[in-house]
Amino acid sequence: MVSPPTVVADHDTRSLRDDVTIIEPRLPWLTDRRKEALVAYVFLAPWILGFLIFTVGAMIYSFRLSFFDTNLLNKSEYVGTANYRQLFDDPAFWKALRVTGTYTAIVVPVGTVLALGIALLLNQKLVLSGVWRTLYYLPAVVSGVSVAVVWNWVLNPSPDGLMNQLLAVFGIGSLRWFSSSDWALPGLILIAVWGTGANMLLYLAGLQSIPSDIKEAARVDGAGPVRAFFTVTLPLLTPTIFFNLIIGVISAFQVFTTIAVITGGGPNNATLTMVYLLYREAFRSFSFGYASAVAWVLFAIIMAFTLVLVRSADTWVHYEGGLRK
Amino acid sequence: MTPTTDQTTRPDRTNRPYASVQATTPSFRFDPVLTGRVRRTILHLTVVLGALIFAAPLAWMLATSFKTQGQLFTTPPTFLPWPITLDGYTRPFEALPFGRFYWNTTVITILNIVGLLFSASLAGFAFARMRFPGRNALFVVVLATMMLPEQVTIIPIYVGWTRLGSFLTDLLGMQISFFNTPIPLSLPAFFASNYAGAFAIFLVRQYMMTIPIDYDDAARLDGAGWFQIYWRIVMPQAGPALGVIAIYAFGWNWNDFLGPLIYLNETSSFTLARGLALLNSRFTTDFQGIMAQTVLSLIPVLIVFFLTQRSFIQGTVVSGVK
């Protein structure tokens, strides 16, 4: 039942594989092509299983949970949309939304401008350029709890804290930082902006991929450095900026570790973010249904922002070679 | 920064008779050699100042870890403490089992690296070098999971581990719990799940696409099966991509906090990140101890970073440029 090589349907460049089947296979329906697909699915099996369990299954279950009032032990009751309705009446939710929004609205633009500025500086001819690049990038390497702990010490509320002494040099009085509800959030924003090294690196790579003859052409046409930046460099960087904005918004909405380690959402909910609210409701109050509702609202917000960014890309992201769509 | 010098106003260095006409404009402003030097000096000063600001918190951490009590709060701040003391490095080990935390973190990190390399290299190989129905659609699914926020799945997965534990307890008639074990923190890696898995599959696939497909065809002519092609032909050449994944997996898991926070609640099962946070909250005034322990926990991260700086940076760039 094996088909002779001459009638193999697709003669693409890789059809050599199909042609070499000369020995009659034991299972006639198992052509090489089918066998290849079968083996491929076996290779993909761990990921497919993981995707079905840890992503699809988990999301369906999470959605179901958000309609229940449950603590996983002795209480599990279908409550319809009560969790969502309760959420919109909860001042803590609105507070978390405001805090997360403020945080994102400052961290993303400031981080973008700063990262781009540093990348422009480091893109010049510098003595010991590798050393500087490493120093600016280092904060992005040391992440998580270490960063939180170190900054908690740098922003010590006493007048002898490192940052407060620096402020004193500029004649600014010492701040209470994480002990005050006014300065706790700015402190967190400062930490996030400090860790902008990974973005800097992406911009640096973007800058270095701009062909020098384009810049040269702009210079010959009489464009000064400022003008050349805004008319040549910046448009060519927009794909990198676009990517960074999306990643930046998503990760800013998910800020958690610094808050869990330093402030615990306080003082007076001043640093209560969406993810910390989710964590507190689920793993402190054991309201798993309510926390799942928080998760879905957070998910919807992140998706909405991502969609808006993606839709807006047509108007400002410039792909060299006119690769729009 | 550079003054936009017009070609025509360039200073004339020759002794021409009408040179006095130009003397009315201060010539140093337009001397290209001098402005170049001034410009370069300003540029370097800015870069160095910025680097100092960025490095200051880490330098402050290092300095604090060697300080005596009297050097903690001084005006101006002490960046080079003398005499130095190693008390900060010994005290936390007496307060909490930090040796144990190192071991736990190492186990979880290694399991994650192995799991991710296993699952992602198999999937990446299939996506890059095999033909099967639905290949493109499935790859789009991989990319889409990179965009999903982890928070939506944290609670259901936590509930899942709880339920599985009580189910097995009933079934086997003995107490089984996945909490305080590395299992919930490392098993998902063997299934390439979440962002880490999708990122790793993407990276492997991109890299394996660059290895000529002729190798596979030649191996098949010699009678090699698909697994042999994967293991003997392609994997040995995929070293750089696998290295980048290992480095990233190391960084993520060494630093992970939310996972250990949820699944580990007995001190003996803590990871470093969890132990550090505990030290920070329980011994709030032992600044030297906290900083010293932070320094110690960062040493492996920094060693790996400096040894692999090039591939680390490449990974960041590759994943960002897409």
Q: Looking at the complex, report in whole angstroms how far the Cα of residue B140 sits from the nearest Cα belonging to chain A.
A: 13
Residues 6+ away with beta carbon under 8 Å from B301: A141, A142, B250, B251, B254, B255
Average pLDDT in the A93-121 region?
94
How confident is the model at residue A22, as a pLDDT?
Answer: 54
How confident is the model at residue B23, as a pLDDT?
Answer: 45
How confident is the model at residue A103, as a pLDDT?
Answer: 96
Q: For the segment A279-290, what is each residue's pLDDT rounded down to a tens digit?
A: 999 999 999 999
How confident is the model at residue A5, as a pLDDT?
Answer: 45
Distance CA(B151)–CA(A31), nearest Å, equals 44
Grade residue A270 by pLDDT with cuts at 50, 70 and 90. very high
- Among B116, B112, B118, B121, CA closest to B238: B121
Distance CA(A255)–CA(B269), nearest Å, equals 25
Contact map slice: B 53-82 vs A, CB within 8 A: 54-58, 60-61, 64, 73-77
Residues in chain A, how many? Answer: 325
How confident is the model at residue A184, as a pLDDT?
Answer: 94
Distance CA(B60)–CA(B55), nearest Å, equals 9
Q: A68: helix, coil or strand?
A: strand
Contact map slice: B 217-256 vs A, CB within 8 A: 217, 220-221, 226-227, 230, 251, 255-256
Distance CA(A102)–CA(A93), nearest Å, equals 14
**Chain A CA closest to residue B115:** A46
Contact B246, B117 (CB under 8 A): yes
- Among A263, A269, A259, A278, CA closest to B151: A278
Listing DSSP states for B250-304 in one string gives HHHHHH--HHHHHH--SGGG--HHHHHHHHHHHSTT-HHHHHHHHHHHHHHHHHH
Contact map slice: A 255-284 vs B, CB within 8 A: 256-257, 260-261, 275, 278-279, 282-283
Please name the amino acid found at residue A137.
Y
Does A160 sit within 8 Å of B75, measured CB to CB? yes
Q: For the segment A226-248, what is each residue's pLDDT rounded down to a tens digit?
A: 888 888 888 888 888 888 888 88
Tell whether A307 lies on the interface with B, counting CB pairs under 8 A.
no
How confident is the model at residue A189, as a pLDDT?
Answer: 95
Listing DSSP states for B91-159 in one string gives HHHHHS-HHHHHHHHHHHHHHHHHHHHHHHHHHHHHHHH---TTHHHHHHHHHHHTTS-THHHHHHHHH
How confident is the model at residue B133, as a pLDDT?
Answer: 93
Distance CA(B53)–CA(B36), nearest Å, equals 26
Contact A294, A210 (CB under 8 A): no
Does A138 sit within 8 Å of B277, measured CB to CB? no
> Which two tokens mark A245?
């904005």
Pick from A38, A54, A244 the residue to mutate for testing the B interface (most B CBs within 10 Å). Answer: A54
Contacts across the A-B interface (CB distance below 8 Å): 274
Distance CA(B187)–CA(A25), nearest Å, equals 38
DSSP B12: P
Pure H helices in chain A: 16-19, 32-50, 58-65, 82-89, 91-122, 129-141, 145-154, 162-169, 184-194, 197-208, 212-220, 225-228, 234-253, 257-258, 274-283, 288-316
Kindly tell me the burial class for residue A294, based on how many C-beta atoms sit within 10 Å of its own C-beta (0-12, 13-18, 19 or more): buried
How confident is the model at residue B312, as a pLDDT?
Answer: 66
Q: For the segment A13-25, what is each residue's pLDDT rounded down to a tens digit?
A: 454 555 555 555 5
> Which two tokens mark A23?
């020995």
Residue A212 reports pLDDT greater than 70: yes
How confident is the model at residue B223, as a pLDDT?
Answer: 87
Residues of chain A with Cβ-Cβ distance to B61 below 8 Å are 150, 153
Q: A69: helix, coil or strand?
A: strand
**Chain A CA closest to residue B320:** A202
Does A54 sit within 8 Å of B54, measured CB to CB? no
Grade residue A57 by pLDDT with cuts at 50, 70 and 90. very high
Does B149 sit within 8 Å of A299, measured CB to CB? yes
How confident is the model at residue B238, as a pLDDT?
Answer: 87
- Among A251, A256, A258, CA closest to A276: A256
Distance CA(B233)–CA(B215), nearest Å, equals 7
| Low-confidence residues of chain B: pLDDT under 50 | 1-28, 321-322
- Among A184, A228, A206, A187, CA closest to A115: A206
Q: For the segment B244-273, what is each residue's pLDDT rounded down to a tens digit?
A: 888 888 988 998 999 999 999 999 999 999
Residues of chain A with Cβ-Cβ distance to B50 below 8 Å are 118, 121, 136
Q: Which residues pair with A78 in a beta bridge?
A: A68
> Which two tokens mark A4?
């002779």
Does B277 sit within 8 Å of A260, measured CB to CB? yes
How confident is the model at residue A229, as a pLDDT?
Answer: 86
Better-scored residue on pLDDT, A198 or A186: A186
Q: A155: helix, coil or strand?
A: coil
> Which two tokens mark A167?
């402020």
Distance CA(B200)–CA(B262), nearest Å, equals 24
Tell whether B305 lies on the interface with A, counting CB pairs under 8 A.
yes
Please name the amino acid found at residue A152.
N
Grade residue A11 by pLDDT with cuts at 50, 70 and 90. very low
Grade residue A4 by pLDDT with cuts at 50, 70 and 90. very low
Distance CA(B142)–CA(B128), nearest Å, equals 13
Contact B309, A138 (CB under 8 A): no
Contact A235, A315 (CB under 8 A): no
pTM of the complete model: 0.83
Average pLDDT in the A75-104 region?
92
Q: A226: helix, coil or strand?
A: helix
Distance CA(A194)–CA(A118), nearest Å, equals 12
Residues of chain B with Cβ-Cβ distance to A198 below 8 Å are 316
How confident is the model at residue B130, as a pLDDT?
Answer: 92
Residues of chain A with Cβ-Cβ distance to B276 below 8 Å are 145-146, 149
Tell whether B119 lies on the interface with A, counting CB pairs under 8 A.
yes
Residues of chain A with Cβ-Cβ distance to B298 below 8 Å are 142, 146
Residues 6+ away with beta carbon under 8 Å from B210: none
Helix, strand, coil percentages (3-state) for chain B, rounded to 5, are 75, 0, 25
Residue A325 reports pLDDT greater than 50: no
